[in-house]
Structures are given as structure tokens and as C-alpha cells.
Amino acid sequence: MTTKFDLIVVGGGILGTFHAYHALKRNLKVAILEKNSFPQGATVRNFGQIVPSGMDLKWQNFGRESLAIYNELQSQTDLTIRKNGSVYLASNDEELQLINELYEINKKNDYESVLLSKNDCIKKFDGLRSDYCKGGLFFPQELSVDSAEMIIKLHTLLKEKLDLKIFYDTTVIETYEDDHQCTAISSEGTKFNASKIIICSGHEFKTLYPNIFNESDLVVSKLQMLQTKPQGIYSLQGNILTGLSIRRYESFQECPSYSQIKSLEDENSFEKKYGVHILFKQALDGSIILGDSHEYASAKDSDSLGYDLNMEIDEFMINEAKKIIDLPTYEIQRRWFGIYSQCKDKDILEYNPSPNIHIVTAIGGKGMTASGGYSKFNIEKIYS
């Protein structure tokens, strides 16, 4: 059996799906080939925080474009998207200085943010501890989603409204180009033909073009996350990012005081060793998602990260979270890890094994936030 398309996208996660979406908007005939029965990689194992505020200017612009795209899609069907904003909570004078500096940078970039006093924060976020919070920086336009539900609902919307074809449980084992025709072959021997192929395979490097991936500067990051039991009538709206996030996120690296403040940190601390910063987001069922940590390995050595959960990391994150917000319950119902890939020296991996086959992966922790805007830009570039 052979099926012909304008574009085949290998990988049904958020990056692949948004490439498909922007191609469909150009009236192209598009298929997604997804190896699992539904996406199971980084797209469904994250916080579901759409936070352009945390990114450097290039990716913030892609993220801001994504906000508009998410809002447009949410107006067509419920994708679990909530516009409750994001807040960065400063725990000391250094972090307070950084949020003030970022506020000034945002004004120049024309990106809306609001400085909150300690009292503003305590009134706005129920259970926030007064001995932790010194003030906050709030981004009212930013979004939260429940990622695992959202990607399935987005697939359904694109199938129904734009005639996207999705082939689940379809593992692509080979792609090649011959005389301007591209072919993807599944493990069952099915051939899918298209004018172009875009490969958005997440951290799965070993099947297609293993030599390219082994020779690249790709790094894999393993993140641990937890989910509490539902919190009853308690409500914590928006994305809650804390002092350790202020010290980690790229946007703050553009602040004048950042280098000096970072130089004073204890290099041997537990949070440094495991790349921990504390985030909170309430899911639709009332539970709170907590995290996260970061352990790194080169892509070719990704197996060295293992499949186990380090309970010491989880206990550390719970204890730190308790210093920040008094939740009705810290009883945990679920723990998991996610894996995402990034480049050491570049912000994303873009590689063409042949003129019409495009590998696009290693978007790092930017996928949920920036894929919508970046994919629009990339589809325009590929089809220019």
C-alpha cells in the first residue's frame, strides 16, 4: 500500500503537530506518523505551562506567537487552555532585584508584566507563605494547559477541521528521497510518499539517522515531577514559578545583575547538582503538579540516565515546595520522569539529510511554549 501526501510529519508530539497545523493552513495534504497509540514523550510529561516570560528574546517572540495560536485554537474547541497568567515569586533581595530588572526589559520588549508587592502575592495566591515571598512579577497573558489531554484534543480538532491524517502505532524505520519524492517506511513495510518529510522525533534518536544524532552535540535531560492528590475546594490559578526558577530561566540571564548574583551561589548545593527549581501548576482535577529536576547525558549515552526515580530528589522538591505554599495536602498520587533533548551550543537541531527531508528536534524545555510560533516560522522557511 502506498499513500501520497504533500507533507509527512514523523512524530505526533507538540512540535510535530504544530508543523502539521501550519502546513494544513497552507491547504497542504498532511499526515502525521506517530509510533505510539498516542504521544508519550516530553509533550505529555511536562507542566503544561506556556511561559514566554522565561525565554530569551528570540524564543520569547516565538512563544508570544504561540499564545495567539493557542487562544485561536481554544476558541474552536476546549483544549484545556486557561489564561490565568504566570508569576515569578522572589524569595530574597537578589531575586527581587532580578524581577525588577526583567520588568524593565519587558517594558522595552513591549511584553506585558506587572510587579506585585509581597501583600499582592499573598492575597492572589492562597497558601503562599509570607516567610518565603518578598514580591512577584506577573505575566497576565500566559497560559496553562493539561498537556496529555490537550495534544489528543488538538489532533482531533485538526482531523475534523483541516483533514489531518494521523497514523498511530506507526513506527517509521526508514526515510529517503529519490528524484524529489520522499518516502517513509513503517516497521510493517507500509510506504508513505510525500513531497517533503519533517522529522520531529523528540529524544528518540536510534531508529532514523543514528549516525547524525551520535555525532551531534545533542544532550538529553531527565526531569522528575510529582502530582498531589486533588486539593478539594482549594484553587491555585496560573503558573507558579519560584526563586530557583528566577535563578535558572534564560530571560533572567539578560538582566544586568544576573552574572554577579549567580557567581555567589553554592556550586555544591543539592539543587545545583540535580538542576532543581520549584514550579506549581493546578490540573483540572484540582491536583497540583510539582517539580522539577534536571539530569543530563549526551544523546548517545542517554541510557545512562536510567529509568528509575530518585526518591531523594522527590523528597527534596516536596520539602522545598512546603516552604513556599501551604497546600491542603502534599499527599502524592503520581510520580514520573520525562526526557527531552537539547543542543549544547544551538537552540534547536535543524538538519537536512537531503533537500526535502528536514530533521527538527531538540527544542529543549521550550516545546510547549514556543512550538506554535517556531513551527509557523519554520514551515514558511521550508516552503519559501
Residue-range domain boundaries for the chain? 1-82+143-217+345-384
- The counts of H helices and E strands in the chain are 11, 19
pLDDT value of residue 135: 98
Percentage of the chain surpassing pLDDT 70?
A: 99
Average pLDDT, stretch 117-130? Answer: 98
Mean pLDDT of 11-33: 97
b/e per residue 6-26 (b: at least 16 CB within 10 A): bbbbbbbbbbbbbbbbbbbee
pLDDT at 114 over 70: yes
Which pLDDT belongs to residue 235?
Answer: 97
Residue 176: its pLDDT value, please?
Answer: 96
Q: Which pLDDT belongs to residue 212?
A: 83
Q: What is the pLDDT of residue 1?
A: 52
State residue 218's pLDDT score: 87
202 has pLDDT over 80: no
**37 DSSP 8-state letter:** S
Phi, psi of 109, deg, nearest 5: -85, -5
Give residue 2's pLDDT. Answer: 58
Report the amino acid identity of residue 218: L
**How long is the chain?**
384
Contact between 325 and 125 under an 8 Å Cβ cutoff? The reply is: yes
pLDDT number for residue 320: 98
Model pLDDT for residues 159-179, shown as the tens digit of each residue = 999 999 999 999 999 999 999
Greater pLDDT, 9 or 44: 9
Provide CB contacts within 8 A for 127, sequence distance 6+: 234, 236, 325, 326, 327, 328
Which of 367, 249, 244, 238 minimizes the C-alpha distance to 317?
A: 244
Strand pairing class (2-10; 191-199): parallel
Which residues are paired to 361 by β-bridges? 349
pLDDT number for residue 205: 67
Which position has the grid cell 483540572? 284
d(CA 218, CA 298): 6
Is the pLDDT at 255 greater than 90? The verdict is yes
| CA distance linking residue 141 with residue 82, whole number of Å | 10
Tell me the average pLDDT across 197-208: 83
**What pLDDT, in 10s, does the model give residues 335-347?**
999 888 888 888 9
pLDDT on residue 85: 98
C-alpha 163/C-alpha 154 separation (Å) is: 12
Distance from C-alpha of 160 to C-alpha of 353, rounded to nearest angstrom: 33
Q: Which residue has the higher pLDDT, 43 or 361?
A: 361
- Best CA proximity match to 187, nearest among 205, 207, 199, 172: 172
For residue 42, is pLDDT > 90? no
CB 369, CB 55: distance < 8 Å:
yes
More confident residue, 301 or 283: 283
Class of the domain covering 1-82+143-217+345-384: alpha beta
Q: What integer pLDDT is reported at residue 38 of this predicted model?
A: 84
Burial class (CB in 10 A: 0-12, 13-18, 19+), 124: middle
Residue 242 per-residue DSSP state: -
Q: How far is CA 209 from CA 175, 215, 354, in A?
A: 9, 10, 12
Residue 203 has pLDDT above 80, yes or no: no
SS3 176: strand
Taking the C-alpha atoms of residue 222 and residue 220, their distance in angstroms, rounded to an integer, is 7
- φ, ψ dihedrals at 305, nearest 5°: -75, -20
- Determine the pLDDT at residue 23: 98
pLDDT at residue 25, rounded to an integer: 98
54 vs 37, higher pLDDT: 54
The alpha helices in the chain, defined as continuous H runs, are: 14-24, 57-74, 93-109, 118-124, 147-162, 210-215, 243-246, 258-263, 270-273, 311-322, 367-382
The helix (H) or strand (E) run that includes residue 42 is: none
Q: Tens digit of pLDDT for each residue in 295-325?
A: 998 877 888 898 899 999 999 999 999 999 9
The CA angle 185-10-162, to the nearest 5 degrees, is 115
Average pLDDT, the chain: 94
The whole-number average pLDDT for the span 16-29 is 98
User: How far is Cα 365 from Cα 367, in angstroms, rounded to an integer?
Assistant: 6
Q: What is the pTM of this model?
A: 0.96
